[in-house]
Every structure is written in C-alpha cells, then in structure tokens.
C-alpha cells in the first residue's frame, strides 16, 4: 500500500494558535481524507480533500476552523485554527488507493495537545 | 444517523483461543465493511474488508457479514499476545463516496499468554 507520511507527528500548542499538518503520499491518489480521533473516541471524518477545488466538509466541521489545501495528487495540508483544548486529538490523513475496493489507508497520525 | 456499534470490551482471551469481535450498523443499505486494528499510540491498520454476505478468510482472520441482520464480525483464530489491540469496525454507508467511513468506538482485545 501507499506510504503516507505526516508532519508533525506530535506537537504541544497554546490556546488560540493555529497549526498546519502536512500529509505526503508516495504515489498519486485521487481520494484523500482527514479524520480526527479524540481521546478515547473513535474516528470521525473531518473532510474530503479535493485536488484543485475546495474541500468537502462533514457536518459539524467548517472551513474557517479546519482549512484544507490539496495542491496536487500527492500532498495535502490540514490547519487547525484558533485552537482550544477541545481540539486535542489525533489527526489522521488517509487515502483510498484503489477505488474498486474503497479500502482506506491511514498515515501515522499527528497527535496535538492544546494547553 | 449512521451508527456503528461495537462492544467496547475489554475482551480477554487466552493465547491460542478464538477471539470473536462483533459490530452492528444502522444503515441497511451499507455496501462496504472494514476491520481495522489499532495498537496503542498508533494509527489504524486495515485487516479485512468484506462486501458480500458470508465469510471471508485471510490467514487467522475471518470476517463474517450478515446484511439482513446488519451485523459484521471478526474472528481471530489461534490468538496471539501480539493481537492485543483495539479493533475498529468501519462501514461505508449507502450513497457515501468511497473513503467516507463511519467507525465504531472499537473493542479492546487482550490476549494473555
């Protein structure tokens, strides 16, 4: 499967600041997604990162809070803006490599702690 | 509301036993079903995918799907301590694009030597 690299792997942030997470895939993929896993919770989809157009956000997530870029088929960024302690989570970049299966593969994740 | 329910556990089995993990889902039209394994502090790793009713086997893992009962399960035969992890069930509901998965909260499995 594709190698999905995320940076940073973890960070400690101050309330009110913003942080951008980068996701790099070693092959071109059409479908790229950003998920969140809050402490003790399961995974929730934030948005679909669309190449060349605006991301598609899930209910409860907005562009002002989680702006996403997808400049090409191998790279995406997620910014967590104006962070609060409730944003402390693991943020996961994920891709569907083969549309015939719909199997979703995850990067290593970025663990953010907001103080 | 698209819900995926799993017993949170913990499920504890001895080494060599069969571990049985269960998942139910609310959207009757769901098409694709996945099991992920997540070790503590790591990201989820895909174990199995299943799309049609019946059993699908891969090594020590067997996924079972019953769409009529809206039920999917994962059996792990000859369980090993290295299987100790949280197992996540995920569903791609009807009408959802690929990659838009709904996840259960996971079942924590412990395999003791």
- The model's pLDDT over A71-111, given as tens digits with 9 standing for 90+, comes to 999 999 999 999 999 999 999 999 998 888 889 999 999 99
Give whole-number Cα distances, A69 to A2, A56, B77, in Å.
20, 11, 43
**What pLDDT shows up at residue B1?**
61
Q: Are A51 and A68 in contact (CB under 8 A)?
A: no
Residues of B with CB under 8 A from a CB of A: 32, 34, 42-46, 49, 88, 90, 92, 97-101, 103-106
Q: Judge if the upstream peptide bond of residue B10 is cis by omega within 30 degrees of 0.
A: yes
How much of chain A is helix, strand and coil, in % rounded to 5?
Answer: 5, 50, 45
Give the pairing of strands A110-114 and A10-13.
parallel
Q: Which of A31, A42, A90 sits opposite B99 (nearest CB)?
A: A31
Query: Contact B34/A105, CB-based, under 8 Å?
Result: no
Of the candidates B44, B92, B106, which has its C-beta nearest A102's C-beta?
B92
Which pLDDT tens digit goes with each residue over B1-16?
Answer: 678 999 888 999 999 9
> What would the pLDDT profile of B34-74 be if each residue is shown by its tens digit?
999 999 999 999 999 999 999 999 999 999 999 999 999 99
**A-chain residues near B104 (CB < 8 A):** 42
Q: Which residue has the tokens 């962070």?
A: A83
pLDDT at A26: 95
What pLDDT, on the 0 to 100 scale, is given for residue A99? 82
Q: How far is A48 from chain B (nearest CA, A)?
A: 8
- Mean pLDDT, residues B70-92 taken together: 97
Closest residue of chain A to B98, computed from CA coordinates: A102
């Amino acid at each position: 499967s594709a190698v999905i690299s995320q940076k940073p792997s973890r960070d400690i942030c101050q309330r009110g600041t913003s942080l951008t997470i980068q996701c790099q895939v070693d092959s071109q993929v059409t479908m790229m997604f950003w998920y969140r896993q809050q402490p003790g919770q399961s995974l929730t989809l934030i948005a679909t990162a669309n190449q060349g157009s605006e991301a598609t956000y899930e209910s409860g997530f907005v562009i002002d809070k989680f702006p996403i870029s997808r400049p090409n088929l191998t790279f995406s960024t997620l910014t967590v803006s104006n962070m609060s302690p409730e944003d402390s989570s693991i943020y996961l970049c994920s891709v569907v490599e083969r549309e015939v299966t719909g199997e979703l593969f995850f990067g290593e994740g970025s663990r953010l702690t907001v103080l | 509301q698209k819900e995926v329910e799993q017993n949170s556990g913990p499920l504890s089995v001895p080494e060599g036993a069969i571990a049985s993990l269960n998942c139910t889902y609310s959207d009757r039209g769901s098409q694709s079903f996945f099991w992920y394994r997540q070790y503590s502090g790591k990201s989820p790793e895909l174990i199995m995918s299943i799309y049609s009713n019946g059993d699908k086997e891969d090594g020590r893992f067997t996924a079972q799907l019953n769409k009529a009962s809206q039920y999917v399960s994962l059996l792990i035969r000859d369980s090993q301590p290295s299987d100790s992890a949280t197992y996540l069930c995920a569903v791609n509901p009807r009408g959802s694009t690929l990659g838009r998965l709904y996840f259960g909260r996971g079942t924590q499995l412990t395999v003791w030597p």
